Amino acid sequence: MEITELLEIVTVSRHFDAFVALDKVSLHIEAGEFFTLLGPSGCGKTTLLRLIAGFDQPDGGDILLDGKSILAAPPERRPLHTIFQNYALFPHMTVAENIAFPLRMAGIAKKEIQARVAKALEDVRLPDKASHYPDALSGGQKQRIAIARALVNRPRLLLLDEPLSALDAKLREQMQIELINLQKDIGITFVYVTHDQGEALALSHRIAVMDSGKIVQVDVPERLYGFPNSRFVADFIGKCNLLAGRVREQHGDSVIVELDGLGPVHVCRSEAKFAAGSRCALTLRLEKIRIAAAIVNPTDDESHFTGHVHDLLYLGDVTVYIVTLANGLLLEALLANSASGRTNFFEVGDQVEVAWSCDAGHLVLD
Amino acid sequence: MQRKNVLLWISAALVYLFLYLPLVLVVVFSFNDSRLNAEWVGFTWKWYGKLFHNQEMLTAAMNSLIIAGVSAAVATVLGTLAGLAMEQSRLRLLQMLVLAPIAMPEILMGVSLLVLFIMVNMTLGLLSIMLAHITFCIGFVALAVQARISSMDPGLVEAARDLGASPWRCFREITLPLLMPGILAGALMAFTLSIDDFVITFFTAGVGSSTLPLQIYSMVKIAVTPEVNAVSTLLMLLTLVVITVASRLSPTVFRGE
């Protein structure tokens, strides 16, 4: 049997006095994976990362690497490295000395260290910075040096603690692409911590969404976005309309939901089973709602309603329309501003019709 | 507004005059070709020449340098450890214990140390002076080191451990080099405090061993001679140089906590 499981978190708990930072968290991370811990600040993601790195000890549970517990090993004996939020480059060492540090600690011969440092600098395209001190580097360069330093002695696992949060938006996007390619090239497992859902979706193979010290959902980005398992995940990942209601009946994967104030709508391809009468919420992504002055060719599968444009947000590429439905409910929908020479399709106060097909929404228990 | 500024400048000038005029006079009269500190006669180096032929003075100066060197060295090691402990321990008491000798009246320190040395039957001399100086220098070094630690990114230590450094190597390769400016500043401060100290030295010196400040004092008892001016000028110069270097090394040291 081939073991691909690299890191196993087994019912790990951590308390700080009365505050529960981690509550019996369990996770499996596979070799070669780009795995992200995503959640709002205080959800426990950084605490979990520090436990894996060995800077802190759990109050319960176990952490296994290649099937063996690493809890007894101090940080320096764990075959993994961390990229810190502020990079933590040693200010009294040159760039080359910084990169050589883990090799020196491992007792590697001077000759080989030189060669590997040169190679590492080559890899991050900063060979001319070898004798510079970290103070003289830009944010993006520091980032690259921190990565070079952490990867130079090929750890089994790389932990990244919000490494892009100190960079400006343009540079961040560029570094995201670099990180994806880097991870693909070297094949080292990444465990990435972030509170930025867009970053998580863009980078990860799989994402664990955390809230209040618990794992709420673990899935691939597409599933997380399309099939959130709770109000929290739906709301945290991407923008989303949440319409509360009650399940009337279910036939196979087809559910009829009585939405509060809107009446019955049809939801098809529902994976979960809902008991009749249970409270639920229909999650509707903005881009899955059709919006028009009058819906042409409405199909039987579609739910459709009339309303007025209450507000709009012009974002350049798209405009978000906030539509008041007949009963005062607000629904957000967006349209790409595809026509040149004009901006918004509708103005505030315009009467519009909205519609969505039965497989556009996803039901979660409320 | 303008008026206020002028008044401010005048009062400031008067304060500084009050502080520094006596020192300037000492320096000036050390070059005066007259036995009396009364009027300027002419420039001379002769008091400095005489100084270097005064055996008692030379012995005292040598004692001072030995005491200051040894005390500063020992106090630096202990003070650095105390500074590290103060930063790591949450115990407020530790901070108080380390820093109390700084705030303690010197005369109290002097007397209490004297009593202690007599109780343990110790012969007063260079050793007792050194022990006394180490005692009051530790706090200053600890303060300088602590100021440096609190400005250090704790993430660096974690990063070093993460990259494979044992706690000891981490201390040697990361913590110690980063603290070095604070440690050196503390050492230099300890050196100047020791070489300048009069009160505590006075109580713990005994008969045979004199230091520069004690020697100056015993000479002044008779008269303020130009030789005293000369040796004071030299002492002042040494202190000034050391303090300047110390403040360069660690600009935060003199801002206290």
pLDDT (tens digit per residue) in A32-52: 999 999 999 989 999 999 999
Residue A222 shares a structural domain with residue A248 = no
A7, pLDDT greater than 60:
yes
Residue among A84, A92, A101 whose CB faces B177 most closely:
A92
Cβ A81–B162 below 8 Å, yes or no?
yes
Cβ B164–A92 below 8 Å, yes or no?
no
Cβ B162–A105 below 8 Å, yes or no?
no
B107, pLDDT greater than 80:
yes
Which residue is closest to B157 within chain A, CA to CA? A88
Identify all chain A residues contacting B181, using CB atoms and an 8 Å cutoff. Answer: none
- What burial letters (b/e) apply to B190-224, b meaning 16+ CB within 10 Å? bbbbbbbbeebbbbbbbeebbbbbbbbeebeeeee
C-beta separation of A348 from A311 below 8 A: yes
For range A213-219, the mean pLDDT: 95
CA distance A161 to A175: 14
For range B119-142, the mean pLDDT: 92
For chain B, the average pLDDT equals: 88
B254, pLDDT greater than 80:
no
A24, pLDDT greater than 50:
yes
Q: What's the pLDDT at A340?
A: 65
Q: What's the pLDDT at B56?
A: 87
Residue A259 shares a structural domain with residue A338 = yes
Q: What's the pLDDT at B250?
A: 65
Residue A25 shares a structural domain with residue A118 = yes
Choose from B90, B158, B163 for mutation: most chain A CBs within 10 A: B163
Residue among A88, A106, A153 whose CB faces B159 most closely:
A88
What residues make up the domain containing A187? 5-226
ipTM > 0.85, yes or no: no
- Are β-strands A302-314 and A318-325 bridged in parallel, bridged antiparallel, or unpaired? antiparallel
Helical segments of A110-194, H only: 110-123, 139-151, 169-186
Residue among B162, B174, B178 whose CB faces A53 most closely:
B162
Residue among A82, A86, A90 whose CB faces B162 most closely:
A82
Q: How far is A218 from chain B (nearest CA, A)?
A: 27
Residue A329 lies in a domain: yes
Q: What's the pLDDT at A108?
A: 94
* Whole-angstrom Cα Rg for chain B: 22
A1, pLDDT greater than 70:
no
CB-count burial class (<10 Å; 0-12, 13-18, 19+) for B237: exposed
Residue A303 shares a structural domain with residue A343 = yes
For chain A, the average pLDDT equals: 91
Cβ A90–B156 below 8 Å, yes or no?
yes
Q: Assign residue A308 the CATH number of its domain.
A: 2.40.50.100
Q: How far is B159 from chain A (nearest CA, A)?
A: 6
Residue A50 shares a structural domain with residue A136 = yes
Cβ B156–A88 below 8 Å, yes or no?
yes
Share of chain A above pLDDT 90, in %: 70
Residue A234 lies in a domain: no
B216, pLDDT greater than 50:
yes
Residue A356 shares a structural domain with residue A259 = yes
For range A222-239, the mean pLDDT: 92
Residue A217 shares a structural domain with residue A149 = yes
pLDDT (tens digit per residue) in A321-348: 999 997 888 999 998 887 766 667 888 9
Q: Assign residue A117 the CATH number of its domain.
A: 3.40.50.300
CA A211-A190-A192 angle, 5° bins: 30
B95 — alpha (psi -120 to 50), left (phi > 0) or beta?
Answer: alpha
Residue among A75, A90, A153 whose CB faces B161 most closely:
A75
CB-count burial class (<10 Å; 0-12, 13-18, 19+) for A275: exposed
Say which residue the tokens 């040697």 belong to: B172
A230, pLDDT greater than 60:
yes
Cβ A88–B155 below 8 Å, yes or no?
yes
pLDDT (tens digit per residue) in A259-292: 998 888 999 888 888 888 899 999 999 999 999 8
A197, pLDDT greater than 50:
yes
Identify all chain B residues contacting A101, using CB atoms and an 8 Å cutoff. Answer: 160, 163-165, 173
Residue A232 lies in a domain: no
- Number of structural domains found in chain A: 2
Residue finishing a domain among A196, A226, A256: A226
* Paired tokens of A294: 């009058």
The DSSP-derived string for A18-77 is TEEEEEEEEEEEETT-EEEEE-STTSSHHHHHHHHHTSS--SEEEEEETTEE-TTS-GGG
B252, pLDDT greater than 70:
no
Residue A153 shares a structural domain with residue A272 = no
C-beta separation of B189 from B144 below 8 A: yes
Residue A129 lies in a domain: yes
Q: What's the pLDDT at A98?
A: 96
A135, pLDDT greater than 70:
yes
CATH 3.30.1330.10 is right for the domain spanning B50-255 = no
pLDDT (tens digit per residue) in A142-168: 999 999 999 999 999 999 999 998 888
For range B116-123, the mean pLDDT: 92
Cβ B161–A101 below 8 Å, yes or no?
no
Residue A25 lies in a domain: yes
Q: What's the pLDDT at A343?
A: 66
Residue A221 shares a structural domain with residue A282 = no
Cβ A105–B164 below 8 Å, yes or no?
yes
Residue A174 shares a structural domain with residue A76 = yes
Cβ B158–A101 below 8 Å, yes or no?
no
Q: What's the pLDDT at B36?
A: 78
Identify all chain A residues contacting B90, using CB atoms and an 8 Å cutoff. Answer: none
Choose from B162, B176, B179 for mutation: most chain A CBs within 10 A: B162
Q: What's the pLDDT at B257?
A: 32
Q: Give A 64-123 residues with CB within 8 A of chain B.
A: 74-76, 81-82, 84, 86, 88, 90-92, 101-102, 105-106
Task: Round to the nearest angstrom and report the end-to-end CA distance of chain A.
Answer: 41
Chain B residues at the A interface, defined by Cβ less than 8 Å, are: 153, 155-156, 158-167, 169, 173-174, 177-178
Q: What's the pLDDT at A3?
A: 53
Dihedrals phi, psi of B207, to nearest 5 degrees:
-90, -45
Which residue is closest to A159 within chain B, CA to CA? B162
Cβ A53–B174 below 8 Å, yes or no?
no
Dihedrals phi, psi of A251, to nearest 5 degrees:
-125, 105
The dihedral through the CA atoms of A34, A40, A46, A51 has a sign that is negative
A300, pLDDT greater than 80:
no
B196, pLDDT greater than 80:
yes
Identify all chain B residues contacting A88, using CB atoms and an 8 Å cutoff. Answer: 153, 155-156, 158-159
* Paired tokens of B102: 């700084």
B1 band by pLDDT with thresholds 50, 70 and 90: low
Q: What's the pLDDT at B256?
A: 38
CA distance A338 to A317: 8
Residue A165 lies in a domain: yes
Identify all chain B residues contacting A76, using CB atoms and an 8 Å cutoff. Answer: 161-166
Q: What are the domain boundaries of chain B?
A: 50-255
B161, pLDDT greater than 60:
yes
Lowest mean pLDDT segment, chosen from A337-351, B15-29, B144-158, B200-214? A337-351
CA A326-A332-A333 angle, 5° bins: 105
Residue among B153, B158, B163 whose CB faces A101 most closely:
B163
Residue A195 shares a structural domain with residue A168 = yes
Amino acid at B210: S
Residue A169 shares a structural domain with residue A295 = no
B253, pLDDT greater than 70:
no
